[in-house]
Amino acid sequence: MPRLTLVTAGPLGRGYLERLAWRLSTVLPHAVIVAGAPLNLSPAWDPERGQYHSTRILELLARGETGEEGSRTLGVVGEDLFVPILTFVFGEALLGGPAAVFSPVRLSPTFYGLPRNKDLLLERSLKEALHELGHTFGLYHCPRDCVMRASANADEVDLKPARFCEACARALPA
């Protein structure tokens, strides 16, 4: 069975990771495990932007993952992420593997001044995690009713389902 290793960094809500790991294990064929030690993010910090550079984090994560038999490493980072040309990114992935990263920071309604909603945050996190992992299996954005649909804001994340369409699901390991 392929492994999915969750590597954490930054502040995450209590119970959040366990619930996310459980939900991922129900959708993916992977055995989901949580890495013992958190990732040191300091090489990815950009003092000018006051954010973390997601591509740097991907490089750190990819070092530990061989990608054997469909195994992947997913960074779950409780800090705001960016790539140089964009104001922020929800996440980023190495197209075709072996690592991906996403941040729940801008998925939380509290970021937009709305009331706290743990269930919504988990649902959005599950979708972003699946989406970025989809990229590691070589998937591009998909126009169907599918988690691989592009979403550039949190509301658009709500509009897609937390599953792969039939065509995209074929790219996942069996």
Partner 1 sequence: MDKASILVVDDEKVVRDSLTRWFGEYGYRVSTAGSGKEALGLLSERPFDVMLVDIKMPGMDGLELLRRTREAVPDAVVIIMTAYGTVDYAVQALKQGAYDFVKKPFDPDDLARLVEKALEHRGLVAENIQLKRSLDQVSQFDDIVGDSPEMRDLLEMVRNVAETDSTVLIVGESGTGKELIARAVHAASPRRYMPIVPVSCGALPDTLVESELFGHEKGAFTGAQYRRKGKLELADGGTLFLDEIGEISPKTQVDLLRVLEERAFTRLGGHEVIHVDFRLITATHRDLEQRVAEGKFRQDLFYRLNVVTLRCPPLRERTGDIPLLAEHFMKKLSRQMSRRFELIEPEAMELLQRHPWPGNVRELENAIERAMVVGTPPAIRARDLPVPGPAGGEGAARPGGTSLAAVEREHIQRILLKHRGNVTRAARELEIDRVTLYNKIKKYGLRRE
- Whether 58 and 82 have beta carbons less than 8 Å apart is answered as no
- Whether 98 and 124 have beta carbons less than 8 Å apart is answered as no
Which listed residue (61, 142, 154, 157) binds Zn ion by CB under 5 A?
142
Query: On the CB side of 166, how many CA atoms lie within 13 Å of its CA?
Result: 0
Taking the least distance from each CB to partner 1, the nearer of 8 and 136 is 136
- Whether 26 and 95 have beta carbons less than 8 Å apart is answered as no
Taking the least distance from each CB to Zn ion, the nearer of 76 and 142 is 142
Does the protein bind partner 1 through residue 82 (CB under 8 A)?
yes
Does the protein bind Zn ion through residue 27 (CB under 5 A)?
no
Pick what 171 binds: Zn ion, partner 1, none; C-beta below 5 to 8 Å, kind-dependent.
none
Which position has the token pair 């550079």? 53
Does the protein bind partner 1 through residue 26 (CB under 8 A)?
yes
- Rounded Cα gap, residues 71 and 31, in angstroms: 9
Give the contact letters, 139-158, x = binds to partner 1 (CB under 8 A), - = no.
-xx-xxx---xx-xx-xx--
Annotated active-site residue 132? The verdict is yes
- Rounded Cα gap, residues 125 and 149, in angstroms: 15
Instruction: Output the smallest distance, CB 143 to partner 1, in A.
Output: 5
Pick what 84 binds: partner 1, Zn ion, none; C-beta below 5 to 8 Å, kind-dependent.
partner 1
Given the residues 18, 132, 156, 166, the one annotated as active site: 132
Taking the least distance from each CB to partner 1, the nearer of 8 and 92 is 92
SS3 119: helix
Q: Which of residues 145-174 bind Zn ion (CB under 5 A)?
A: 146, 148, 165, 168
| Class of residue 59 by CB neighbours under 10 A (exposed 0-12, middle 13-18, buried 19+) | middle
Q: What is the largest CA-CA distance in the chain?
A: 44
Interface residues with Zn ion (CB under 5 A) are 142, 144, 146, 148, 165, 168
For the annotated catalytic residues, the residue numbers are 132
